[in-house]
A and B are shown apart, each in its own frame.
Chain A
Amino acid sequence: MAGVILIIAAGLAGYWLFPDNLALLTRVIAVALLVLSLDLITGYCGVASLGQASLFGAGAYAAGIACVNGVTEPVTLVAIGAVAGAMAGLLMGTIMLRAHGLAQLVLSIAIVQLFHEAANKASAYTGGSDGLAGLMVSPLFGVFEFDLWGRTAYLFGLALLVVVFVVLKFIVSSPFGMLCRGIKQDPVRIRAMGSYVFPVLLKMFVISGAVAGTGGALAAISTQVVGLDSVSFELSANALVMLVLGGLGTLYGALVGTVIFMGFEHVVSAINPFHWMTMVGALLIAVVLAAPGGLTGLYETLLGTGKRAKGGRT
């Protein structure tokens, strides 16, 4: 509960402190949803993926295509994005869970490349490399217009993030979530206890897809354009970096990693437009070497509460 209040407080503080950067902050929320979705399968289930943007892009394109075809109500668009993401998660999980380890990682890269290529080729529906433009979203609840400054989009995104976070907290704390953590630690033991591993992981992939799809739909609604970057390998890789930076398997780590990474990227790229990537790289190396458990792991260690991290893989 305290964590949720903290997220709301930080979100509202961002609204008041950075009124000229609400578009960026909304993008941070959308990407945070993507990183949260990755945390579900990587942090809680131990399935590493470099193709998570497939699910994000599926949600973004589904919402975008629905919007240009007359479905303009934002909550409905988010629901469409979530369903599309869940379906993409089902497909991705069905393929990826047939393999293990490195082969699984390679499959995830292949999947995101295929999604990217499909979005590029289906230009009649997606706009191809030009992107899908012309999204005219109706006012939220028929009242709140999506204004030029991005206030409505930001507050809508913040509300979405809070709802998704609460739902995910419930899921990862449930017996299903515990089973996922058990699978991550020792799938052989889980099988020997009479549980089936594949359906459990597949279910988590579907949930993960719904969350990523929600993020994609939010990005589409807020920017009113969907580009190929929303289904790119680069976005997938960045999401994994943000998760590692924040810390796996805590949900909070996904949020912290996203905010720190995107905030740092924004600030440093403004200070030094030529070498900002070098500084981002240096930050990552420093965090990974100094805090293998990510920033949340470091925080817990400093507070002496890093019990889960000390227990090995979380």
Chain B
Amino acid sequence: MPAASLDVRQLSAGYGPTIVLEDVSFSVPSGARLSILGRNGMGKTTLLSTLMGLNRRYSGEILVGGADIASLKSSERARRGVGLVPQTRDIFRSLTVEENLIVGIKDRPRSVIQEAYEMFPRLHERRGNLGWQLSGGEQQMLSTARTILGRPSVLLLDEPLEGLAPVICEELMAAFTRLASSGEMTILLVEQRLESALDFAESVLILERGRIAWQGTSEALRADQGLVEHYIGVGSLH
């Protein structure tokens, strides 16, 4: 499935009666990368979950490749090309690495699993291990690979580097960059590590209390230390 543009228009969402996201609008061109920043609890994860159809949308449109998917269930959205690598990784702990990947390939031939092993050779080494036996980094690789095997046109990455050792973070970011460079998918990255987020994407969106507080290029944000300190925190950028 080729990369698709993503247009979010006046999106409001939340949990039960609690509104978390309010009037969020932004666009990401086909094949582009967007980093989503903000302090904890500002609605970043809720935004990705809402795009995936995992929590309640109150109003607004979500267009993937021009088609509105906002009223579709998560399984339909996935089939329309939206793929989420969740913050919680959500690998199947009682399945082996290979079995986890097989569940992710849907109707594609089993041989496509090699693509995952090429992306993360470590998974090939541990293909017979069960999910719970993997380290945090390996679980993140597995979660990412499993989603990518579904050939998403819009990939949503929710804090993929959280709690991981620097060397693993570098390995993962290199893989994400390779994916992005291929132009085969539009990528949204939610990330607390500011440097990584700015290095990865051309454009940035900052969420503040469920609303978009700032949108612009990575370069513009990098150049404005005051903006960074105001919305993200003192000393985030070195």
Could you list which residues of chain A lie within 8 angstroms of chain B, going by C-beta atoms? Answer: 175, 178-179, 181-182, 185-186, 188-197, 307-308, 310-314
List the A side residues contacting B75 at CB < 8 Å. 191-197
Please, could you name 13 A-B residue pairs with CB atoms under 8 Å apart, sorted by A?
A181-B92, A182-B100, A186-B92, A189-B86, A191-B74, A192-B78, A192-B84, A193-B83, A193-B147, A194-B75, A195-B103, A197-B75, A312-B132
Contact B103 A193 (CB under 8 A): yes
Supposing A191-B75, A192-B52, A194-B79 touch, asked if A307 and B133 sit within 8 A by C-beta, the answer is yes
List the A side residues contacting B133 at CB < 8 Å. 307, 311
Contact B150 A194 (CB under 8 A): yes
Supposing A193-B150, A194-B106, A195-B106 touch, asked if A308 and B79 sit within 8 A by C-beta, the answer is no
Q: Whole-angstrom distance between the alpha carbons of A181 and B53 in the complex?
A: 23
Q: Whole-angstrom distance between the alpha carbons of A196 and B99 in the complex?
A: 18
| Residue picked from A179, A191, A193, A313, most chain B C-beta under 10 Å | A193
List the B side residues contacting A190 at CB < 8 Å. 103
Query: Closest 6 A-B residue pairs measured CB to CB?
Result: A194-B78, A311-B132, A311-B94, A311-B93, A191-B75, A189-B90
Chain B: which residue is nearest A307 at the CB level?
Answer: B130
B94 partner, pick from A181, A188, A194, A196, beta carbons under 8 A: A181
Q: Whole-angstrom distance between the alpha carbons of A196 and B106 in the complex?
A: 10
Q: Which residues of chain B (64-83) have a CB below 8 Å from chain A?
A: 73-75, 78-79, 83
List the A side residues contacting B130 at CB < 8 Å. 307-308, 311
Contact A185 B79 (CB under 8 A): no
Contact A312 B74 (CB under 8 A): no
7 additional contacts (CB under 8 A) given A186-B92, A195-B106: A175-B103, A178-B95, A195-B103, A310-B132, A311-B131, A311-B132, A311-B133
Q: Whole-angstrom distance between the alpha carbons of A194 and B105 in the complex?
A: 10
| Residue picked from B90, B92, B132, most chain A C-beta under 10 Å | B92
Chain A: which residue is nearest B88 at the CB level?
Answer: A189
Counting CB contacts under 8 A, is B234 at the interface? no
Counting CB contacts under 8 A, is B220 at the interface? no
Contact B132 A193 (CB under 8 A): no
Count chain B residues whose beta carbon lies closer than 8 angstroms to a beta carbon of A. 31
Whole-angstrom distance from the CB of B140 to the nearest CB of chain A? 15
Counting CB contacts under 8 A, is B168 at the interface? no
Q: Whole-angstrom distance between the alpha carbons of A225 and B93 in the complex?
A: 46
Supposing A192-B54, A307-B130, A307-B133 touch, asked if A185 and B150 sit within 8 A by C-beta, the answer is no
Q: Whole-angstrom distance between the alpha carbons of A197 and B150 in the complex?
A: 17
Counting CB contacts under 8 A, is B102 at the interface? yes
Q: Which residues of chain B (85-136) have a CB below 8 Å from chain A?
A: 86, 90, 92-95, 99-100, 102-106, 110, 130-133
Chain B: which residue is nearest A179 at the CB level?
Answer: B103
Contact A175 B132 (CB under 8 A): no
Counting CB contacts under 8 A, is B146 at the interface? yes
Q: Whole-angstrom distance between the alpha carbons of A178 and B92 in the complex?
A: 10
List the B side residues contacting A314 at CB < 8 Å. 94
Contact B146 A193 (CB under 8 A): yes
Contact A193 B93 (CB under 8 A): no
List the A side residues contacting B78 at CB < 8 Å. 191-195
Whole-angstrom distance from the CB of B30 to the nearest CB of chain A? 20
List the A side residues contacting B132 at CB < 8 Å. 310-312
Q: Whole-angstrom distance between the alpha carbons of A314 and B132 in the complex?
A: 11
Whole-angstrom distance from the CB of B53 to the nearest CB of chain A? 8
List the B side residues contacting A179 at CB < 8 Å. 103
List the B side residues contacting A310 at CB < 8 Å. 132
Q: Whole-angstrom distance between the alpha carbons of A311 and B75 in the complex?
A: 26
Q: Whole-angstrom distance between the alpha carbons of A313 and B54 in the complex?
A: 23
Whole-angstrom distance from the CB of B138 to the nearest CB of chain A? 14
Chain B: which residue is nearest A308 at the CB level?
Answer: B94
Q: Whole-angstrom distance between the alpha carbons of A310 and B76 in the complex?
A: 33
Contact B54 A188 (CB under 8 A): yes
Q: Whole-angstrom distance between the alpha carbons of A307 and B129 in the complex?
A: 9
List the A side residues contacting B86 at CB < 8 Å. 189, 192
Whole-angstrom distance from the CB of B218 to the nearest CB of chain A? 28
